[in-house]
Structure 1
Amino acid sequence: MKGPLFYAKILLFGEYGIIKDSKGLAIPFNAYRGALKTSVNLTGQAKKSNESLFRFYTYLSNLKTDLVSFNLEDFKKDLEKGMYFDSSIPQGYGVGSSGALVASIYDNYAFDKITILENLTRDKLLKLKEIFSVMESFFHGKSSGLDPLNSYLSLPILINSKENIEPAGIPSQKEGKGAVFLLDSEQVGETEPMVNIFMNKMKNEGFRKMISDEFALHTDACIDDFLSGNVTSLFSNVKKLSKVVLKNFKPMIPDAFHKVWANGLKSNDYYLKLCGSGGGGYILGFTEDFEKAKKSLQDYKLELVYRF
C-alpha cells in the first residue's frame, strides 16, 4: 500500500490571530511531504508512527460526531498489516506534520468524503475545516483544522474569518532579490503549551486590545499586500508586525532568538515572525535582499520558501 503524497504547510500570516477571528494566509510547502505506507518489519520511526496511528484509530473510533464517519474496519486491518505515515515533515516545527497525517487518513478512510476534484463551495470548505479540526484535536488539544485543510487541498488558503475561507491565488514567484525564508531554531516547539499561554494572555484587556488594534491590523495589511503583489508596502507592514510580536509574544520566541529578532528590525536586513505557534521549530523570515539576510544570519540554517 502506498497512499498519495500530502505536503507541509506554512501559515504566512495569521498565527494566533485566526484563533480570534482575524485574517490568515496559508500556503502549501512542497519541500516536505508525507504518505501512508506499509511494511512487514516495522522498526524505528515507522514502528513509532504505527503505534501513534493505532492511538489515533482509537480516538476516531470513539468520536461522537455527525460530521464524518470512517471505514474503521479497513483502517484497523491496514494498521495490523504494518501501515505507518512516512513523512519528511519535521514534527514540532510549525509546518503541519500532523496536518498532512490527518489529511491522508481522511483521504483514505472517510465515508462520503469531499474530494478535491469537486466544486469546492464555501460550505464544503468550512465543513472540511470543521472535520479536520475535530480530527486534529487528537494531536493538539485544540485545532483550527487549517493545517490538514491546506495539506488536503494543496492550495493557498485565505482565511477572512472563521466562517469565511476561500482558495487564494498568490502572485507567481519572481527571480528578484526578496524572499520569504525559514530560520531553523533547532529546538522543537509544542503547540498546546503555546496556545495555552496565548489563551491566558487573552484574559488581559490590554493584550486583547493589542491583538485587535495592532496585531490583527498589521496582519491583515500584510495579507492584502502579499496577495496584491505590493512588495514595498508589504515590507513596511511586516516590520510593524515583527515589532509587535517581539514586544508581546516573547514566550513564543525561543530565548536565543530575541536578540536575532531585534537585530533584524535594527538593520532592516530581515524581519522575523512566528511560524505556527512558536516556542521552537521554524521562525519565518522576510527580506528584501536574501543574500544580505544570509550574510547577517550566517550562523543559522535558512531555507527558501518564496521569492519576490
Structure 2
Amino acid sequence: MRNPLFYAKILLFGEYGIIEDSKGLTIPYNTYKGSLKFDQKAEGKVSNESIDRFAEYLEKNFSEDFDISLLNEDIEKGMYFDSTIPQGYGVGSSGALVAAIYDRYALNKIDTSEGITKESIGKLKETFSKMESFFHGKSSGIDPLICYLNLPLLINSKTDISTVGLPEQKEGKGAIFLVNSGAPGETAPMVQIFFDKLKHEGFRKTLKEEFIKYNNACIDAFVKGDVNPLFANLKKLSTWAFLHFKPMIPQRLLDAWQYGIQTNSYYLKLCGSGGGGYILGFTKDYENAKLHLKDFDTEVIYKF
C-alpha cells in the first residue's frame, strides 16, 4: 500500500463568508501532514475506530462510489490515519483524512495528474462536501479539496473555484502567522452560532455590506501583492469580526485581538470556524508583533 501524504490547509480568507458566497482563499500548509498506515497496536486505535464509524457512513451514503469491502478489510487490519495535523485547530485534520480515504477507495476517482479543470474541481468539491459532513454536520468540501489537490485555491463563489498563483514570499519584516489559542475548538457549535446569527436581518445585512466587502478586498490585494490596501482592509475585517464574531473568538485572545486593532501592530482574524485552535495574524513587523503576543505560541506561515 503506497502512502501518499496529505497536508494541512489554511483558509486565509473567507471563513463563514464562503457559506454566503463571499470569496475565499485557501493555501496548503505543509508543516503538518498525515497518511494512511497499518498498526494493530494501541497507537492507531482511536483513529482506527473513527475510520470504522466513517466507513459505516460511507456505506450508507456512497455504497456505489467506494470500495467499501476493501475499506472494511483494511480497517480490520488496523488501518489508521497517522497524522501530525492538530485536531480542532482549523487546519484541516478531517479534510486530510477525507482526501486520503477518497484517494485510496473511490471507485471512479477523478485523476488530477493530467491537469485540473473547474469542472473536476466542482465534482470533487461536491463529493468532499458530502463526505466531510460526517465530521461537521455541514461542510463546504473546501478543506478536503485543498488537502487533495495541495494547491492554493481561489473561491469566487460556491460554483466557481480555481487554482491561483500567489506572490512569492520575500524575506521582509512582514508576515502572516498562526497564533495558538491553547485549546482545540469544535466546528459544529461555532457553525450553529453563525447560522443562528443569520436568522437576524441586521446581521445578514452587515455580513453582506461590510464583512464580504472587506474580505473580498483583502483577497484581491493579497493576490496582487498590494500590501497597503491589504492592511487597510484587514483592520476593517478584524474590527468587524471583533464586533460580530466575538462568540467564535477564544476568550484568551480577546484582549490581544483588540490591542492589535488599537495599535495597528498586527491584525487577527479567525482561522477556520474559531472557538479555539489557531487564529491568523497579519503584521508588517513580525518581531514587534511577537513581543505583544509573548503569552502565545506563534508560527510564521508566509513572509513578505
Q: 2:56 aligned to 26, 50, 58, which one? A: 58
Report deviation, 1:64.
Answer: 5.3
Partner SS, residue 63 of structure 1: helix
Q: Deviations over 1:189-216 (max 9, x none)?
A: 0000000000010010110011101000
Q: Could you tell me which residue of structure 2 aligns to residue 239 of structure 1?
A: 235
Q: Could you tell me which residue of structure 2 aligns to residue 22 of structure 1?
A: 22
Q: Could you tell me which residue of structure 1 aligns to residue 12 of structure 2?
A: 12
Q: Deviations over 1:257-285 (max 9, x none)?
A: 11110000111111000000000000000
For the residues of structure 1 that align with 2:300 and 2:70, how far apart are their CA atoms?
39
Q: Could you tell me which residue of structure 1 aligns to residue 279 of structure 2?
A: 283
Structure 2: runs of 5 or more not aligned: none
Report deviation, 1:298.
Answer: 1.0
4+ residue runs over 3 A deviation = none
Q: Is the 8 A contact 1:26 1:150 kept in 2?
A: yes
Partner SS, residue 237 of structure 1: helix
For the residues of structure 2 that align with 1:126 and 1:64, how far apart are their CA atoms?
18
Count of matched residue positions in the alignment of Structure 1 and Structure 2: 304
Q: Is the 8 A contact 1:2 1:35 kept in 2?
A: no
For the residues of structure 2 that align with 1:212 and 1:295, how far apart are their CA atoms?
35
- Residues 103, 64 of structure 1: alpha-carbon distance in 2 compared, 3 angstrom cutoff: closer
Q: Percent identity?
A: 60
Q: 1:144 aligned to 128, 136, 140, which one? A: 140
Q: Could you tell me which residue of structure 2 aligns to residue 75 of structure 1?
A: 71
Q: Deviations over 1:111-157 (max 9, x none)?
A: 11112212321111000000000100010000000000000000000
Report deviation, 1:255.
Answer: 1.5
Q: Deviations over 1:202-260 (max 9, x none)?
A: 01011001110100000000000000000111111111100000000000001221111
For the residues of structure 2 that align with 1:151 and 1:184, how far apart are their CA atoms?
21
For the residues of structure 2 that align with 1:175 and 1:145, how far apart are their CA atoms?
34
Does 1:173 find its partner at 2:169? yes
Partner SS, residue 62 of structure 1: helix
Partner SS, residue 15 of structure 2: coil
Partner SS, residue 176 of structure 2: strand
Report deviation, 1:87.
Answer: 0.2
For the residues of structure 2 that align with 1:42 and 1:74, how far apart are their CA atoms?
21
Q: Is the 8 A contact 1:37 1:84 kept in 2?
A: yes
Q: Could you tell me which residue of structure 1 aligns to residue 158 of structure 2?
A: 162
Partner SS, residue 213 of structure 1: helix
Partner SS, residue 61 of structure 2: coil
Report deviation, 1:49.
Answer: 0.2
Q: Is the 8 A contact 1:13 1:26 kept in 2?
A: yes
Structure 1: runs of 5 or more not aligned: none
Partner SS, residue 171 of structure 2: coil
Does 1:252 find its partner at 2:248? yes
For the residues of structure 2 that align with 1:162 and 1:62, how far apart are their CA atoms?
26
Q: Could you tell me which residue of structure 2 aligns to residue 206 of structure 1?
A: 202
| Superposition CA RMSD, Å | 1.0
For the residues of structure 2 that align with 1:48 and 1:72, how far apart are their CA atoms?
20
